[in-house]
Every structure is written in C-alpha cells, then in structure tokens.
Structure 1
Amino acid sequence: MGELKRFVLRLTARSPLLIGDRRADTQYTESLDHIPGSRLRAAFARAILSDCPLFDPAEARDGRRWWVVYQGRPECEGCPWATWCRQFEEIRFTQATPGGARILPLTAMGCKVDCGRSGVMDTLLRRLAWQQRLRERPYEDWQPPRFNCVCGGRLENRGGWYDPRAARPVSGPRRQAFTRLMIDPIRGAAAQGQLYTLLPIAPGAEFTAQVEAPAPPPCAELRVGARTTTGWGRCAVVVTEADESEDVGERIGRFQAALEAARQAAGLGPARDVYLALTLLSPALVGPLPDGSPAQLGAAESRAILAAALGLDRLFPGAELAHAFTGYEVKGGWRLSDGGWAESRHYLVAGSVLVLRLRPGDAGELAERCARAERVGIGERTEDGFGQVEVCASYHVSEAVR
C-alpha cells in the first residue's frame, strides 16, 4: 500500500448544493453551510463507481450499496482511480469549510446591542483564570465579573465562521430559495400539502478541505450532496499539495504565557501544570457513554467519562480534562445505505473547547502528541472529518476575532 500524502481540495459550486438535508419542518429544507467529510467520501465513491465497468448498482457488500471495493481484475489495470480504489477506506477527509474559514469557538462573544466597537472577542483565557481562582480559593467570597463591552453593554455568545488570515468573522455561503410543488396525477392540479421550499447553497460558493490520499484525485469535477441526478451538486475541483502547518510547540508556548497573564490579572500565581486547549473544528462523535449524556460536565467524574469516550487518554496519557466549554447533539435514525436503524449517538458540536491539564514533561514529546491529535482527530470516525481539533489556537491567545 502506498504512503498517504496530504492534499488541499478547493471546490467551487457550479450548480446549487444541497448538503445534509437539514429540515426545519416537513415543507422546508435548508442546506448545511459546509460539506462534512462523510459527504466528500460519498461523492468520491460515486465518482469512482460511476467510472467502473465492473460495478453493479444492485450489488451490496457488507450490507452497503455504492461502496468502493477494489476487485483486482485485469480491467483495474490502468484505471486512473486504481490507487484510490485500493486504499479507499484508509483515505482521510476533513470537512470542507466556506473559503477555508474556521468555526468560531463557543467562548467567542460580541456586544449584545451590536455597537461595533469591540467586534467579536474570545473569552477563554479569562474564563479559565476565573474558574481556577474559584477552585484554588474556595474559601473566598468572590464572584467572577460579568463580560461587558467597551460601550458598557453586556456581551453574548456569537457563532459563525472566522477567517484566520484576516482575523475577523466572515459570513457563510449565500443560499438560494427554490419553491416546488407536486402535481396530483388524477386531478392535474397541485397536490394538497405538497408545496415545499428548498434552500441550497447558491452557485459560486467556494469550499476548502484537506485529504490524506495516495495520490491526487484524477477528476476536475465532483457531484456533491443531494439531488445530483437533477443537475445539482456540480463542483469544480482544484487540487494542490498541503503546506506545512505552524509549529504546534510555538502555539503551546504562547498559550501558556497568555494564561499566566490572565491568572495574574485574576490575582493568582503561576500555574504548576501545563494546560492545552483543544478546539473542535468539526463535530466530534463521542464513544459509548455509560449513562445519560455529556451535558452535565460540572463534576470531575463526568469530565473523566467524556475524556475516555473521546479517546483523550490514548493521545495524552495522564492528562485530566480540567475544563469543558461545549454543547452536544443527539443524532440517529434510519441508514439509507442498508435500511437499518442507527442507534442514537452523542456529538460534541463544532466550536467546543476542551482544556487538558498535564504535568510538566518533555516539551518535544508533548508537541509531537499535539501534532498527532491535529492530524488524526479525537472521538470516532475521524477518517470522515469528525473530531478535527486545533491545539492552543491563536485566536484564544489574541482574544481578538474582529
């Protein structure tokens, strides 16, 4: 098997994109504003099998239809997709975000009255310092101050996308409304209750993702999402080699220094341990939980259960999940691939921030573990883009997402 290399995929929509079929109600369907890695895998599987003379659409393997399986027959020799077909299940996708933007963390806040003077700022360091003061000095009668804007108004949580190059929030892709109705074949008129609206992403939107594959994909166009048989989902594909990422060790050092300054502002001394902030760039699929959900993260025991379910103990042995700023969703239902029932699972939402506490140790080994966490992700199904993380992200240190 060939070694996997990292490539950047740039997708430009040539027709409307309907991703995810997010239904607000029975007559209104809105597309996601990004392309999950699982949708990219399905799109490439469709491209491979559509070009394969050996593929039988009626055939199912391991209960799954339209799934790539290398057959190793003479017809496979010389096929441009052969290298991808051999290692299809080993290929790793990230989610594709609009213009390469990143999700704003759950610790990002903006002015409640939108005065425009403070922009959107990150509050993680101050939250950590205040919580640590409450834990280290439980005997004090002290309450954390409120988050206020420079105009004197309150701050509230902000979501959306963030451009790391320009250091400012950006809007998601533009959507385009399509209203349709179903004709009653007997009456020849509109069927009762069958007026519905689709809100796909408009043509021209650009998305950026990364893929670890044995070779660049041999295609200039891809069909992504739903309703591709009606002309939707056409995307132009441009592939380039990925650049080297910023040294994670430098980010860790800046984060520790910024946290020390925040602790000093809160009246605390230097921290004895090393703290790492893992910011989820995509939803993370949590492993099986013993009882209930990860919603209650106040107790140390609950945080330990969540850390084990995400596999943090394997990536960072001996680390403690000290703080968690997160939300979660529960998803399940029928699988379209085989008609079976998918058990409900918990997903940590993108933008969640998990803060680990570790004993001081070898800085080189710690940086290597962090780089691996960024490459493989946390939780389950990371090969499909779930659980992407950034360690000690720069916007937590600058506190400015303007």
Structure 2
Amino acid sequence: MRLKLKMLSPLIIGGQKLNSNYIESIDYIPGNVLRAAFARVILNHCTVYNGEVEEIDGQKRVNWVHYRDKEGCKKCRFKEVCKKFSSIKFGFFYPQGAVPIVMSQMVCKNDEKHRLVDSLTYNKVNGCPTCKGRLEYTRGLSLGDKIFKAKKSIYTRVEIDRYTKTSKDGRLYSLMPVLEEYFVGEIQGIEEADLDLFEDLRVGSYTSVGFGKCRLEKEKELEEDINKTLSNMQKFSNKYKEVNNKKDDLNYFALLFETDARVKLENLDGYKTTEEYKSILADLLNLNSDFKIDKVYLETNAYRGYDTSMVGDTREEAVHQILKGSVVVVSSKKDFKQIYNEFREFTVGQETLNGFGKVKIYCGGVENAK
C-alpha cells in the first residue's frame, strides 16, 4: 500500500553526529524508524505488557511487539496488527516527489539549479547542457531532474536539571529538523482499516517534546506501463553503448539501490583487482553466468547499530552498508523481457522487511530526456 505521512510537527531523525551539541535530521525516514513508531503506539495501548523482559526465539527482549494471546488480547483493537507485525514490510519514506540522487548523476559546478544529467547516458565532456559549464558528481535527493533541498530550521535548546529545574551549564544544544509537509513511501502487509489505529503516530527522535507528530494518509498507487519500461530499457542500452563506445550485441541495463543495503561482504582482506570486486558484487546480487557487471558507481560504509529491544549487549553485528543511489550496470545476451522478469522485485542483504536493500531497474534518465 502506498501511503504518505502528513507531518504535523517538525521531524528529527538523527544521522551521524557532527559534534555532541548539534543534531541535524536526515531528510528521509528509514523503514526501521517507521516500524519503531508503529511499535510504540501498539505497546502504549497494550494492557497485558508492562515492560518486562521476554524470551522471543531464544533471545531476551523488551518492548517487542508480538501477539501474547492473553485475556486482555482478545478484545484489543490492535490484535490483528500484533499477529502480523513481524511480517509487515516498512519501506523508506522520502519527501513527496523526491528520490535519492543516483551516484552516476552529475550537476553543473556553476549553478546547481541546472538540470542533473546521468554520465551513464550523457557524455560528460560536453559539459552542462544548459551552460556548457563543468560537471561534477553530487549526492542527496532530486526532484525531477533538479537537486532537491529539504526545508530545515534550527531550534536551540538547553538541558534542564531535573532536580534544580534550572539550566545545566554548558548544555546548550541545537536541533535542525526537517520541515517538509509530506513523506511518501510504501507499507506492505497492512490493511487500510488498520491505519485508523495509528492516529497518534510520532516518528523519529524528540517525540516527547513535540517533534515527529504525523498522520497517515492513503496515496494513489503507481501504475507501471510494462511496455514503456521495456522501451526505456532498450533506449538506455542504446544510449549507454553509444556514450561508452560499445560495439557488441549485448543488452545493457542498470540496477539502482533505491535504499541503503546492509550486507555481509566476504573475502575483502588485502588488495583486490577491479574484476575481483566485480565478482564479489555479482555474488551479492546473485548474478549468474548469464550476466556480467560492466560498470559500478557505489559507496559503502561500515555500520554497527544498536538493537534497543535486546537485553545486555545491544550492539548489532557490524555489516557493510551500500548507500542508496549506488548503481551497477550489467550486460547480458538475454532479451529485456527476460531481464525485467528477473529483476522487477529484487532485494539484497539484511533487514529487507525494514525497507533496506531495495533494488530496481534504472533507465539512466532516458525516460525524461529532452
């Protein structure tokens, strides 16, 4: 189901801290953050759970949503959601109309307001299509073929001593929340009637002081024209071969990481050649001998988060995180209909139920070419 969150107050979702007294929100909502917001509502209304430690699948946990099958559960209005909560898939939500910038996209160094172009299907030596200025790679979100900057504001606060009720020395801090009105994404496995249960939904951090209040609304479903998609795949292949001087009879297509992917990459010790890295990535993407990686625009970081539902050591196992916007160009002798059928519903890595690792076929902007 495609949904949008109408924000009723500013949103704060912490990213990497620049320093201890300044927190700037990221400009999108990861699926695990949204799942936590739903869980908070369910547990706040639960009459049979009081914060005690429970053993779930051999792991001691707290604040874990599951159906406890007690007397109070039978008349609970959240009963059906509790039963299926672990199988509900929460996608990433982005500001309405915005998507991650693809790592192969470039923008004019003279003016970021000029349109983005994709180096996969545009010869960057030609310079900016608008002014012929120099192009450079960029990051963030885009809206159409332009860079999108989420609206933000700065809030300055001071920490209050709970005992003296006065401000603490040296505890002035600043918050920079997002002020966008709508965020759009998908939640799969939930019924439209269930949405009314989450009227008091608060997403992200600092919810106890008013941030992150929002309302769920149904959004129009996107309808895909398969024939148009296949046509765009053909256009992409032709343009990619032209820009990259390919003379073969292979079909080329691109796989785009729409969201961050948390993966275990093995055998990374020591020096690796380009072909060895391609082989590691091919294994990750489950590409068989019918497919060969031609070009990669990809960035990773090491990720080790905390699972606050666990008891004891809450640190998660360290993984590599392939960042959203990464793109892999693949060649094959298969026709585009076969390629489309193999990669139309595609996820990689861990936490796919929280929206991570969503990969889609990408056509390099040829569908928007002017």
Question: Are the counterparts in 1 of residues 299 and 322 from structure 2 also a CA contact under 8 Å?
Answer: yes
Alignment of 1:313-328 (within 5 A): 313=287, 318-328=290-300
Alpha-carbon distance between aligned partners in 2 of 1:241 and 1:397, rounded to the nearest angstrom: 21
Q: Structure 1 pair 85/153, CA: closer, same or farther in 2 (3 Å)?
A: same
- Which residue of the other structure, out of 206, 209, 212, is the alignment partner of 1:227? 206
- Which residue of the other structure, out of 77, 80, 94, is the alignment partner of 2:77? 80
Q: Structure 1 pair 161/220, CA: closer, same or farther in 2 (3 Å)?
A: same
Number of aligned pairs?
Answer: 361
Alpha-carbon distance between aligned partners in 1 of 2:369 and 2:243, rounded to the nearest angstrom: 15
- Which residue of the other structure, out of 280, 285, 304, is the alignment partner of 1:332? 304
Task: Look up the SS of the partner of 2:121 in the other structure.
Answer: helix
Task: Look up the SS of the partner of 1:368 in the other structure.
Answer: helix
Alignment of 1:266-345 (within 5 A): 267-269=245-247, 271-292=248-269, 299-309=274-284, 311-313=285-287, 318-338=290-310, 339-345=313-319
Residue 236 of structure 1, CA deviation: 1.1
Alignment of 1:55-66 (within 5 A): 55-61=49-55, 62-66=59-63
Question: Are the counterparts in 1 of residues 116 and 147 from structure 2 also a CA contact under 8 Å?
Answer: no
Residue 276 of structure 1, CA deviation: 2.1
- Given the alignment of the two structures, is residue 210 of structure 1 paired with residue 186 of structure 2, yes or no? yes
Alpha-carbon distance between aligned partners in 1 of 2:245 and 2:16, rounded to the nearest angstrom: 47
Give the match for residue 139 of structure 1. none
- Given the alignment of the two structures, is residue 353 of structure 1 paired with residue 349 of structure 2, yes or no? no
Alpha-carbon distance between aligned partners in 2 of 1:58 and 1:115, rounded to the nearest angstrom: 53
- Which residue of the other structure, out of 109, 118, 122, is the alignment partner of 1:122? 118
- Given the alignment of the two structures, is residue 32 of structure 1 paired with residue 9 of structure 2, yes or no? no
Alpha-carbon distance between aligned partners in 2 of 1:365 and 1:20, rounded to the nearest angstrom: 41
Amino acid at match of 2:316: A
Question: Are the counterparts in 2 of residues 252 and 392 from structure 1 also a CA contact under 8 Å?
Answer: no
Residue 183 of structure 1, CA deviation: 4.7
Question: Are the counterparts in 2 of residues 16 and 201 from structure 1 also a CA contact under 8 Å?
Answer: yes
Amino acid at match of 1:11: L
Task: Look up the SS of the partner of 1:25 in the other structure.
Answer: coil
Give the match for residue 341 of structure 2. 368
Alpha-carbon distance between aligned partners in 2 of 1:114 and 1:297, rounded to the nearest angstrom: 38
Question: Are the counterparts in 2 of residues 49 and 66 from structure 1 also a CA contact under 8 Å?
Answer: yes
- Given the alignment of the two structures, is residue 391 of structure 1 paired with residue 368 of structure 2, yes or no? no
Residue 330 of structure 1, CA deviation: 1.4
Question: Are the counterparts in 2 of residues 41 and 93 from structure 1 also a CA contact under 8 Å?
Answer: yes
Residue 389 of structure 1, CA deviation: 2.2
- Given the alignment of the two structures, is residue 155 of structure 1 paired with residue 130 of structure 2, yes or no? no
Using the aligned pairs only, state the percent identity. Answer: 26
Alpha-carbon distance between aligned partners in 1 of 2:202 and 2:163, rounded to the nearest angstrom: 35
After TM superposition, the structure 1 stretch with the greater mean CA deviation from structure 2, 152-161 or 350-359, is 152-161
- 1:331-352 CA distances to partner (integer Å, 9 max, x unpaired)? 2154433342223221111111
Residue 43 of structure 1, CA deviation: 0.8
- 1:7-66 CA distances to partner (integer Å, 9 max, x unpaired)? 122111112221135411111111110100001111111111212211222334423321
Residue 317 of structure 1, CA deviation: 6.7
Question: Are the counterparts in 1 of residues 120 and 243 from structure 2 also a CA contact under 8 Å?
Answer: no
Alpha-carbon distance between aligned partners in 1 of 2:64 and 2:165, rounded to the nearest angstrom: 40
- Which residue of the other structure, out of 93, 100, 104, is the alignment partner of 1:103? 100
Q: Structure 1 pair 319/291, CA: closer, same or farther in 2 (3 Å)?
A: same
Residue 259 of structure 1, CA deviation: 2.7
- 1:299-343 CA distances to partner (integer Å, 9 max, x unpaired)? 12211112323x433xx6742222211111212154433342223
Task: Look up the SS of the partner of 1:320 in the other structure.
Answer: strand
- 1:116-137 CA distances to partner (integer Å, 9 max, x unpaired)? 6x5221221247xxxxxxxxxx
- 1:238-260 CA distances to partner (integer Å, 9 max, x unpaired)? 1356343342x642442233332
Unaligned segments of structure 2, at least 5 residues: none
Alpha-carbon distance between aligned partners in 2 of 1:214 and 1:168, rounded to the nearest angstrom: 33
Q: Structure 1 pair 178/89, CA: closer, same or farther in 2 (3 Å)?
A: same
Q: Structure 1 pair 109/241, CA: closer, same or farther in 2 (3 Å)?
A: closer
Give the TM-score normalised by the residue count of structure 1.
0.80
Alpha-carbon distance between aligned partners in 1 of 2:257 and 2:47, rounded to the nearest angstrom: 41
